[in-house]
Structure 1
Amino acid sequence: MICALASAVCFGTASVFQAVAARGTTAGSGSGSGSGSGGSGGSGVDARLLLRVLTQWRYLLGLALDGLGFLLELVALRTLPIYTVGAALAATLAVTAVVAAPVLGTRLQRAEWLAVAVVCGGLALLALSSGTEGHRAGTPALRIGVLVFAVAVLAVGALAGRLPDRARAAALGLGAGLGFGVVEVAVRLIDGFGPADLLTNPATYALLIGGAAAFLLLTSAFQRGSVTTATAGMVIGETLGPAVVGVAWLGDRTREGLTPLTVAGFALAVAGALALARFGEAPVAHPDAPAAEPGPAAEVAERP
């Protein structure tokens, strides 16, 4: 559980460091290209901005924290039920919200502080009530099924990119969450780490494809639609599906007699994370722009 929570801290803090680096690069570029939310043409990707931001120590530190967070997530997934790890990873948004308040100049409303408390309370209930990971290794059919699902997420995500703006962000975010969910399940289906074991296990390829699909779809969602909507879709996709697979096929269970407590903790953690979905967005503002009024409905007109 410590590894799962530490992973959330790493991911949430990394997001803030990367947001600071991206905002500083945008402000220092001095160009007004692409201003406004209704600009025409292009996907919003600025390769020159990416090259500039990779030279900033804050961004590189964020990448290092992402790598450490992923390693901690792997350890947690090998020892805890998937539903517990998924809920802990949803707490990344609570970490981002708290860290972003002083660093990025955002302000948490009373309702958002309450959401942070709800996430923490839900995780506390999960820590008290969740059992150990299930000991089922997963059938060959499940391994193949996860691989097929990973490919389907990538294919359907490509089609979702053609939807109208609001539906597109939600669909791409949900697809990204499902991709991250594939990674969570695939880790549990890898029972040997020798070269022969990895190369012959369909779950290995599901992990790689699911992770790549999640990254691509989430990046597209952030570039082409509401990041708040995309983040909410991602939280739902990466928590609910994997939790069901863990319980139904991998033997994840709660402590004896504490199933209602586990369900309540999971629901509270996910609900609190959804309430904080806007903090999946990196606030970016021009230096001469007036400060926006804080609040859950605050949206970013221009992103790096």
Structure 2
Amino acid sequence: MVCALGAAVCFGTATVLQAVATRTAGRGGGGDAALLLRALRQWRYLAGLALDGLGFLLQIAALRSIPIYAVGAALASSLAVTAVVAARLLRVRLTRSEWAAVAVVCGGLAMLGLASGAEGDRAGSTALKYVTLATAVAVLLLALAGGRLPERGRSLTLGLGAGFGFGVVEVTVRLIDGLAPSALLTNPATYALLLGGSAAFLLLTTALERGSVTAATAGMVMGETLGPAVVGVIWLGDRTREGMAWLAVLGFLVAVVGALLLARFGEAPVEGAQVGAAPVEAAPVEGA
């Protein structure tokens, strides 16, 4: 659980650092490639990338130790981290309800920490590995067609697709049982992880660029928490501590609801933004 929370802190902080760096770099001319090159020259952007990498390693460690539902809820809490860091570094004013949502997320994670047991003891069937691969391919196809979707509901759809892609990553980490090259190359879960993760980032970028940040982030939170949690419990044997299933379910729901209330922080607000102001378009950032 410490690794899962550490990953959330890394991802949430990286979002703000990369937002600051990208917006500073965006003051120059040129296209996307020029923007990326300028961003890569800023220490905040590089620090954000380093935090993303560290967060991913911590996520893997957590997924190999505790149930997927606990890791998914902890990763969703990165929105609370982003909100707190944005309030500190970007001087974004949080409403009382948003501070309450941060507290709700923390309370839900505390309940999960008390109730969650060890990871499930099932290795996952070959059929499940191919199902995750098929899901990853479907997410990739959605990503390729994302720009042509009808505008109505597009942000939510793309965000939900991104959530499923990140969910594929969570599940496949448990389905990869060996790091030998021969084992990795013959395991469908390996390709599902690569396709699902890449497609998820593409979908999230498209969603943030072309629509509502709040709707996209809400869809992502639902997709990356609910689906993997069900897979973990039903097919991988994830369980809770004896007699604490009710507390785990309550903690999971509380943490996810709290994260949804903070969905507008799926992309860090601009410096000095006021609560209730109109959304400001900005370059999408990683680690959301």
Query: Please, what TM-score do these two structures have when normalized by structure 1?
Result: 0.90
> Do the aligned residues in 2 keep the contact of 1:11 with 1:65 (CA within 8 Å)?
yes
Which of 15, 38, 50 aligns to 2:36? It is: 50
Q: Which amino acid aligns with 1:55?
A: R
Matched, 1:6 2:3: no
Show the counterpart of 1:179: 165
SS in structure 1 at match of 2:274: coil
> Do the aligned residues in 1 keep the contact of 2:19 with 2:268 (CA within 8 Å)?
yes
SS in structure 2 at match of 1:165: coil
Q: Deviations over 1:129-187 (max 9, x none)?
A: 01110010011111111111110111133334322334111111111110000000000
Matched, 1:19 2:19: yes
Matched, 1:123 2:103: no
Show the counterpart of 2:201: 215
> Do the aligned residues in 2 keep the contact of 1:284 with 1:303 (CA within 8 Å)?
no
> Do the aligned residues in 2 keep the contact of 1:292 with 1:298 (CA within 8 Å)?
no
Which of 139, 147, 151 aligns to 2:133? It is: 147
Q: Which amino acid aligns with 2:264?
A: R
Show the counterpart of 1:293: 274
Q: Deviations over 1:213-252 (max 9, x none)?
A: 1011111111111112111111010000000000010000
> Do the aligned residues in 1 keep the contact of 2:157 with 2:219 (CA within 8 Å)?
yes
What is the RMSD computed on CA atoms of the aligned residues? 1.6
Which of 192, 203, 224 aligns to 1:238? It is: 224
Q: 1:303 to 1:68 in 2, by over 3 A?
A: closer
Q: Which amino acid aligns with 2:2?
A: I
Matches within 5 A, 1:191-230: 191-230=177-216
> Do the aligned residues in 2 keep the contact of 1:176 with 1:234 (CA within 8 Å)?
yes
- Distance across 2 between alignment mates of 1:77 and 1:117: 24
Q: Which amino acid aligns with 2:80?
A: A
- Distance across 2 between alignment mates of 1:165 and 1:116: 31
> Do the aligned residues in 2 keep the contact of 1:166 with 1:225 (CA within 8 Å)?
no
Q: Which moved more, 1:106-115 or 1:147-156?
A: 147-156
Q: Which amino acid aligns with 2:63?
A: L
Show the counterpart of 1:93: 79
Number of equivalences: 284
Matches within 5 A, 1:262-281: 262-281=248-267
Deviation, 1:284, is 3.6
Q: Deviations over 1:89-119 (max 9, x none)?
A: 0000000000000211211100000000000
Q: Deviations over 1:37-93 (max 9, x none)?
A: xxxxxxxx7322122111111000000000000000000000010000000000000
Show the counterpart of 1:40: none
- Distance across 2 between alignment mates of 1:268 and 1:68: 27
> Do the aligned residues in 2 keep the contact of 1:247 with 1:253 (CA within 8 Å)?
yes
SS in structure 2 at match of 1:283: coil
- Distance across 2 between alignment mates of 1:55 and 1:301: 23
> Do the aligned residues in 2 keep the contact of 1:174 with 1:236 (CA within 8 Å)?
yes
Q: Give the number of the structure whose alpha-carbon radius of gyration is greater.
A: 1
- Distance across 2 between alignment mates of 1:255 and 1:13: 31
- Distance across 2 between alignment mates of 1:196 and 1:254: 34
> Do the aligned residues in 1 keep the contact of 2:107 with 2:255 (CA within 8 Å)?
yes
Instruction: Quote the sequence identity (%).
Output: 69
Show the counterpart of 1:170: 156
Q: Deviations over 1:18-40 (max 9, x none)?
A: 011112223x42x6x9xxxxxxx
- Distance across 2 between alignment mates of 1:97 and 1:166: 27
Q: Structure 1 regions of 5+ residues with no counterpart?
A: 34-44, 286-290
Q: Which moved more, 1:97-106 or 1:112-121?
A: 97-106
